[in-house]
Homo-oligomer: A and B are copies of this chain.
Amino acid sequence: MDHMIDAGLVSAENERLSADLDRDYANLGEKLARNGVSIDAVTEKVAAYGIAVPSWGVGTGGTRFARFPGPGEPRHIFDKLEDCAVIQQLTRATPSVSLHIPWDKVDDLGELKQRGEALGLGFDAMNSNTFQDQDGQAHSYKYGSLSHTDAATRQQAVDHNIECIEIGKALDSKALTVWIGDGSNFPGQSHFTRQFERYLDAMKTVYAALPDDWRVFTEHKIFEPAFYSTVVQDWGTNYLIAQELGPKAFCLVDLGHHAPNVNIEVIVARLIQFGKLGGFHFNDSKYGDDDLDTGSIDPFRLFLVFNELVEAEGKAGFNPAHMLDQSHNVTDPIESLMRSATEVCRAYAQALLVDRKTLSGFQQDNDAMMASQTLKQAFRSDVEPILAMARRKSGGAIDPIATYRKAGYRQKVADIRPAVSGAGGGIV
């Protein structure tokens, strides 16, 4: 395994922090034991948990107003893989990378796969892109892609998705994620029903190209880049799609793609109940699709989502994909992804602490107060010792960000990778 961060440094840093960790872990363990919870069992589950990082997430993101790149921006998928390997090395929570085509296209897929293996990284769901025009593209997606009124444009989008499947097959990916920007900006611009019918027809062709052991995840979003209507606007439409396509089709939930105030955990529960929860794009948001670091704005909401996931563990066919999908505009992307992976693990660990038997009793008795308190008690548990112990046991860093900074990785790649000048956003 190629280590991006010197293993000795990781060990030295861990050494420095281990005594406190051991003490905190023991104290927490004793406290949990009072409630009949084995801390080691929880730690084991957390250690076994993994979430995919998006290849594009290791580059600095931007808005339509501007993008402010940082030092050492990755130049291509091989640079990105190395950055992802840092995240996995230190957190041990991100064993796979989710690629985006054509951004991550390479000539030699074998080389790419090999490089992933060398870095200890697998390849998660493939992401297609029909929301941008690429140089030399025959048909523009300005007015849509899979739902375009023009058949040739739809076919081009279908072909692109099938190409993504082909690339994924070579990389042992097992899923295709389809998010489209299709919609309309003005009342009247699109005929909602015909547009959706065209989308369904196109997706059926994509679906037909899925290998037997693959799944397809469709993603809904209320707005942006379309500002009046979107074709896959919410989970209701997303569910209809999954139902129309068939048993390999599932719904993907991005935490930032809903209307204000919407209760996302209920949606998660409904999709689980009806066997159509495909997975998540984790991030956090306050206003729209803000794509902030997971758990940074509303950590309790994240916990409530994981509460549903833990509740469903063991249910037949329940196997949602977990992926981060964020835009890192003002932080070092590697730091944000490490922090976010940690926050997801935190929510998972907290959800594992929920006393489900007791909770179920309170629910049955309509004891709203104690039911609520049962969740809150799990949420307010400081599970950091569990997360740190899981990382240390798996060979990661007790304090990933501090270790990363000490390693000077960012400066190292900045010396190699050329500086990128401040690019304007879409408005210019």
* A428, B103: Cβ atoms closer than 8 Å: yes
Residues of the B chain whose Cβ atoms lie less than 8 Å from the Cβ of A374: 188
CA distance A346 to B339 in the complex (A): 24
Is the CB–CB distance between A143 and B330 below 8 Å? yes
A425 to B226, alpha carbons, bound, how many Å? 14
Asked if A18 lies at the interface with its beta carbon under 8 angstroms from chain B, I say: no
Residue of B nearest to A375 (CB): B188
Residues from chain B with Cβ under 8 Å of A186 in the complex? 292-293, 296-297, 330-331, 368-369, 371-372
Residues on B with C-beta less than 8 A from A228 are 263, 286, 290, 292, 297
Considering the complex, which residues of chain A in the window 46-76 have a beta carbon less than 8 Å from any beta carbon of chain B?
A: 56, 59, 61-68
Interface residues of A in 183-215 (CB under 8 A from B): 184-194, 196-197
Q: Which of A118-126, A157-165, A267-275 contacts B (4 or more CB under 8 A)?
A: A267-275
- When C-beta atoms are compared, the residue in chain B nearest to A132 turns out to be B66
Pick out which of these stretches binds chain B: A8-16, A234-242, A411-419. Answer: A234-242
Q: Which residue of B lies closest to A135 (CB)?
A: B421
> Are A185's CB and B260's CB within 8 A?
no
Interface size on A, residues (CB 8 A): 129
Q: Which of B67, B227, B237, B286 contacts A270 (CB 8 A)?
A: B237
Asked whether A89 is an interface residue with its Cβ less than 8 Å from the other chain, the reply is no
A sample of 30 cross-chain residue pairs with beta-carbon separation below 8 angstroms, ordered by A number, consists of A64-B327, A65-B131, A66-B225, A68-B140, A132-B425, A133-B421, A142-B330, A143-B330, A143-B366, A149-B363, A186-B293, A186-B297, A186-B331, A188-B359, A188-B362, A188-B371, A191-B360, A191-B363, A196-B270, A197-B273, A223-B261, A224-B287, A225-B425, A227-B286, A240-B270, A258-B259, A296-B376, A346-B380, A425-B425, A425-B426
A185-B290, A225-B425, A370-B401 are known; give 6 further A-B pairs, CB within 8 A. A187-B297, A192-B308, A193-B269, A261-B286, A300-B300, A373-B401
